[in-house]
Amino acid sequence: MADFSPESFKKELLNILSYWEKYAIDRKNGGFYGRVNYDNEGVADAPHAVVIISRILWTFSMAKRLLKDPKYLIIADRAFQDLSIHFIDAKYGGVFWSTDSNNKPLEMKKQIYGNAFAMYGLSEYYRTTNFPPALERAKELFSIIEKHSFDPANGGYREAFARDWTDTDDYILSKSPWNKSMNTHLHLVEAYTNLYRVWPDKTLKKQTEAMLNVILDRIVNSQTNRMEMFFNEKWESKDKVISYGHDIEASWLLYETAEVLKNEKLLAKARKQCILMAEAASTGLGSDGGLNYEYDPETKHTKTERSWWVAAEQMVGFYNAYQLTGKADFKLKAEKSWDYVNNKFIDKERGEWFGAVEEDGTQLKGDKVNFWKCPYHNARACTEMWQRLENKH
């Protein structure tokens, strides 16, 4: 088994940060590469995504806050400038989904998922720097999301809008009528939680509590203890596809939200549900310790690919369940998850993690950086484990 110590996780965190510092920065054109291939070569003409810029901002802001090394602030500053100059829509508010390689707006839809990650990164940057404009921009995102996306009649948040915040049928991640999703709510509540850490506003708290309740009551199926993925306005579910990675990720993120809110009733509710969610997610584990990607009960098809972000989240989710219950089996699952990451995901030759591994253990040699491949899941997981094992969390 791999060394399951705080030092081991801290070491891998430093390795991940070093990779992004070395290969992701576009020193010729400014900002960051939108894509870095398997051979660590930056692709200059790749488009840029608000999700990855926001996740870089969050990661290096967090790194500066915890590790104190000023070099991480330099990268966080770079990401803050990139996000502020190229992605924030000065005319209509909110952030663009993507820009081209010349930093011109490409996909201008207002995706709430993307706005959530911008808020997440900005609030962490403020948490680290106390730089007022970062907080103001995060608060502006909160206000515009509440104005346009919040559904006062049915609860929750609508998925996406046109650039000017009018209705659209194409939500990028889904299409009409499936205008609410598990994924957007999970990461929006994460962003609201981080904003609340630095801005304990009463309205923000009320809306965060309401969203956590919506997730626990509407998105989590109380019969299966699994989240469903897409919904229409009135919370009718599209299908019953199981996303094991999102379930185990939510099992610790939702509990974290309840902790930050300090609402004892909600904390008890989240604790009970999150333990059940971790237990349900564990049914997706293979004998190798890796979680399958998803399962469709209707077709009986299991997508057995192991994904880097799922592997990262399952470590934290199972260890969080161990902390909540004291059950050794959860700790063993977390240990096996870390062992699997060390053996199959960490690229010891080129750095960073492979994006995907087949069920038979074959590593798929895809991009190290792209629209979705970022330093957020694995850097955060290593940070969480380092902090939890040192009893700082």
Which helix (H) or strand (E) segment is 254 a member of?
helix 244-261
* CATH (domain of 385): 1.50.10.10
Total domains in the fold of the chain:
1
The one-character DSSP state at 15 is H
- What does the pLDDT read at residue 173? 85
- What does the pLDDT read at residue 78? 98
Token pair listed for 241? 């596809």
- What does the pLDDT read at residue 88? 98
Q: What is the DSSP string of 153-215?
A: TT-SB--EE-TTS---SB-SS-BTT--EEHHHHHHHHHHHHHHHHH---HHHHHHHHHHHHHI
Tell me if 15 sits within 8 A of 7, measured CB to CB.
Answer: no
Residue 1 lies in a domain: no
d(CA 173, CA 159): 9
CA distances from 17 to 127, 208, 393 (A): 19, 31, 21
Distance of CA 270 to the CA centre of its chain: 19
- What does the pLDDT read at residue 209? 98
d(CA 160, CA 181): 10
Q: What is the DSSP string of 288-332?
A: TSPBPSEEETTTTEEE--EEHHHHHHHHHHHHHHHHHH--HHHHH
- What does the pLDDT read at residue 171? 87
The predicted-structure confidence for 11-42, as pLDDT tens digits, reads as follows 999 999 999 999 999 999 899 999 999 999 99
Token pair listed for 290? 């890796």
Question: By residue range, what is the domain housing residue 297?
Answer: 6-389
Tell me if 132 sits within 8 A of 58, measured CB to CB.
Answer: no
254 phi and psi angles, rounded to 5 deg: -70, -35
Residue 30 lies in a domain: yes
Residue 210 lies in a domain: yes
Please give the model's pTM, rounded to 2 decimal places: 0.97
- What does the pLDDT read at residue 165? 98
Residue 178 lies in a domain: yes
* Beta-strand runs (E) in the chain: 48-49, 98-99, 105-107, 110-111, 160-161, 180-181, 220-221, 226-227, 230-231, 242-243, 294-296, 301-303, 306-307, 356-357, 363-364
Computed from CA positions of residues 143, 147, 151, 152, in that sequence, does the dihedral angle turn out positive or negative? Answer: positive
Ramachandran bin of 210, using left for φ above 0, alpha for ψ from -120 to 50, beta for the remaining angles:
alpha
Which ranges of the chain have pLDDT less than 70?
A: 392-393
CA distances from 286 to 85, 183, 365 (A): 45, 24, 21
CA distances from 109 to 165, 322, 353 (A): 8, 41, 31
Residue 79 lies in a domain: yes
- What does the pLDDT read at residue 170? 85
Question: Of 140, 137, 148, nearest to 111 (Cα)?
Answer: 148
The predicted-structure confidence for 130-145, as pLDDT tens digits, reads as follows 999 999 999 999 999 9
